[in-house]
Structure 1
Amino acid sequence: MFVKVLFLYMILGLPKATVCQNLTVHKKLYNDLFNDYNPEITPFDTENGNSYEKWINFKFYNLGINHYDEVEGILSLTSITQLTWLDSSLRWKPSDYNNISQMTVSTGTIWFPHIVLLSDANKLEPFGSTSLFKVRIYHNGYIEWFPAHVINSKCAANIRKFPFDEQQCSLKYFVWEPSWQIYLQPVSKPYSDIHETKSPDWIVQSWEMKADKQGNISLAVILKIKREPLYYNILVFTPIAVLSLLNPLVFLLPHNSGERISYGMTVLLSFVIFLTLASDKIPATSNPISFLIVFIVLVFIASAVILLFNIINCYFYKDDKEIKGCLKHIAKILCRKGRKEKVSTFDEITIFYKDIALGLDKFCFVMSYIFMFSLITVYFIILLF
């Protein structure tokens, strides 16, 4: 019975003893590494001529675009930055420490590079100054650090082709160190979308990382994004195009119906009300101005001109006086039906102001549609090219 109890005690106590032993080894390793370690001293050894130890590998992961304010020119995104560097004073032999090949410590324990996002819209602050993300130390002296950030970077917007616009934002990183021996080395694969959360408004087209050619103390992550235009096409462009094509139909209404002016006013007021609603969806910026704004203004002016000619036509239609003088030649052109009729002299033709109104209706109807279709076509050509 005593033997069984002793055996059971040994079995249950073995894991606890192993854990205690590992904790002891970790503690010994920690004390051996940081006994004479000073995090204020740059660990790069510049005396032996090993320039590889001076470089910091930089890799960028985008986790998703949170928001892009075109008016303020601020891009908000969540990202993870992978930094890898060599600290030759933090090396050990795993065989001397129970085959421990790596360990994690807080950022305040070791030296880490002070890298600043120069394009930060809030404040210039080095990575890790308030970071709770720990660093991983390998037995060969290499250190990995994965700080995560919600970045608010300055990015001037170019909404000239809104809502088919593409934006290019540059996240500029800089090594804020007094020593010129510290450089940033972009990793060959700058971007990974494995953990990216897709934005409903923006599509990430491409990434590019460029280091400073004059010393590699700075690095830029160039992000190219494209807006999803479907929402704005349905809500903004389609109703405007429909209203613009409905406007010329006012010239087909009979003058005696009394609905011509009310129809024109209704379309114009509907257009104004819609512009008020659509203005909340269009970025309010003057430099550069959006082609869509120019398109809306031109359509609005054309609608006002259509209403003006409609009022003039109604005024002429009620006048039964005969036209004389040079106005008679203009009326002949407007009232031409396209067929040849033999007349003795031009003076025998009697034309009234009502005929001018009917001729203006046809002329304005055709010219209005030509202008509207041309305006829409030119707008799309500008957006595509």
Structure 2
Amino acid sequence: MRLLVYCFYLLVLWCHDSLGVQGDNDTQTEHDLHKRLFQTYNSNIMPRHATSLDPFDVGIELYLMSIDEINELSQTISIMAFLEITWKDRFLGWDPLEYSNITSIKVKVKDIWYPDVVLESTLDKHTDLMDEAGNANIKSDGSVVMWPYGRYTVSCKIFIGQYPFDKQTCLFAFLSWTNPSSKLVLSSASTEIRRFVYKENSEWALKRGQVLFERRPYGNDTWDHVIFCFELQRKSLFVVMNIMLPIVCIAFLNTFCFILPSDCGERITLCISLFLTLAVFMTIVNGSLPESSDEVSKFGVYVGLQLIGSGLSTIATVLSLQCYHEDDHTRVRLCVQLLVIAMCMRKRYQIHQKHANNEVNGNKNDGEIVITEIDTLDDCIQIDKRLSSGNGNRTTHNVPPVTWKMVSCALDRFCFIASIVWHVVLLCILLVVLVS
């Protein structure tokens, strides 16, 4: 009996002590937790085990919000995103049962140790990646999470050869600035960029976002790099509708300079206007592309060739007008007559021959009317010899078989055909090169 009473007494004492301890622990608040954690905490010491030789592990993820800008002239890309940087601090752990079941707290970044992760090839300051005025979330097991947020800008080589159907690849590489891979290891749990909050860009389409890992040697050690790779495709509808189609249409208008009547007086005005318009569009195209000699835009080459073609059309129009206004009594050379024959400019001519001694009361003609059709070069040579010859008692009144107006028409026809072929060939080559 006494033994049972004694055991019951010990059980009551144990329950009392347990309830008393629990009641005392319930009085521990978050203020007490902060006081205990940071009383002897040193933010300059990396929180890895002193006896362990393993490097400290830091995880990094990128959550893309938007592609803010891709500047072709400065060859840079800017994005809006926030990072998720995680690590485990062995000095910041506690038992939630001792502090009113508190499982996580928030502290200022400047009060704890944090990895010096920076963005490589950035145009901003490297130290601006971590905002010391921001907050870090700490869990009871010592896990620390930070979410630095901002606009990140890096240099990105822009390849303009396929403009406006070009594809670009831009890299955002993060590394530790002062800790090599022997002390700090960067890693990423995902292989794709997180796009839960991503908003599509109106000019560029994100085809793929990869997460890569590289360990690059530098000096006597290596440095870990977590690389976020963006594969971008330009949305070409705006450029096609507002630049490409107008240039193609304006270029084709050069062909109509050769079917405009020579006596209308507006042919040169039309040619020069088209030339100046193409020059303005070429300035617009070149103004939106980087000034680089490493690669030339194929569409820019097309515009340049069309500008050269427009200049040649102006020269050909001037020559055609010169031939059109040439004196009909000026002899046409044989090589020029060949052009007229090649362009199928054929016409019948009448040659009137009369006696030198005509009667006063009548006009008796002893000659004849010769009708000749020019079909070949030999015919042209024979007619030219007959027109150049004359008899002592005869006077030959003739109309030249090939006039300068015919030469002008033949030149216009030749240039019209050549211009159509020029534009069609250039356009086909451009489409094949850009689409392939």
What TM-score does the superposition give when structure 2 sets the normalisation length? 0.76
Of residues 169, 180, 183 in structure 2, which corresponds to 1:181? Answer: 183
Q: Which residue of 2 aligns with 1:12?
A: none
Paired letter, 1:324: R
Pairing of 1:45-194 with structure 2 (within 5 A): 45=49, 47-48=51-52, 51=54, 54-125=56-127, 127-128=129-130, 130-178=131-179, 180-194=182-196
Q: Secondary structure of the residue that 2:144 maps to in structure 1? A: strand
| Contact in 2 for aligned 1:250/1:260 (Cα 8 Å) | yes
What TM-score does the superposition give when structure 1 sets the normalisation length? 0.85
Structure 1: how far apart are the matches of 2:60 and 2:36?
Answer: 29
Q: Does 1:347 align with 2:347?
A: no
Moved more, 344-353 or 282-291: 344-353
Q: Which residue of 2 aligns with 1:282?
A: 288
Structure 2: how far apart are the matches of 1:127 and 1:353?
Answer: 78
Pairing of 1:249-260 with structure 2 (within 5 A): 249-260=256-267
- What percentage of aligned pairs have identical amino acids? 22
Q: Which residue of 2 aligns with 1:36?
A: 40
| Contact in 1 for aligned 2:65/2:80 (Cα 8 Å) | yes
The 1:174/1:227 distance shift into structure 2, 3 A limit, reads: same
| Contact in 2 for aligned 1:210/1:221 (Cα 8 Å) | yes
Q: Secondary structure of the residue that 1:232 maps to in structure 2? A: helix
Measured against aligned partners, the alpha-carbon deviations of 1:86-139 in whole angstroms (never above 9, x if no partner) come to 1122222211211111111111121110011121113222632x4332111111
Moved more, 182-191 or 266-275: 266-275
Measured against aligned partners, the alpha-carbon deviations of 1:45-72 in whole angstroms (never above 9, x if no partner) come to 26346x4x72211111111122222111
Structure 2: how far apart are the matches of 1:58 and 1:280?
Answer: 40
Q: CA deviation at 1:22?
A: 8.5
The 1:162/1:260 distance shift into structure 2, 3 A limit, reads: same
| Contact in 1 for aligned 2:105/2:138 (Cα 8 Å) | yes
Paired letter, 1:140: D
Structure 1: how far apart are the matches of 2:282 and 2:78?
Answer: 29
Structure showing greater Rg: 2
Q: CA deviation at 1:154?
A: 1.3
Paired letter, 2:381: D
Paired letter, 2:310: S
Moved more, 369-378 or 176-185: 176-185
| Contact in 1 for aligned 2:176/2:224 (Cα 8 Å) | yes
Of residues 401, 404, 414 in structure 2, which corresponds to 1:363? Answer: 414
Moved more, 305-314 or 318-327: 318-327
The 1:342/1:91 distance shift into structure 2, 3 A limit, reads: closer
Gaps of 5+ in 2: 1-24, 217-221, 347-373, 384-400
* RMSD of aligned Cα (Å): 2.6
Q: Which residue of 1 aligns with 2:353?
A: none
Q: Secondary structure of the residue that 1:212 maps to in structure 2? A: strand
Structure 2: how far apart are the matches of 1:144 and 1:342?
Answer: 92
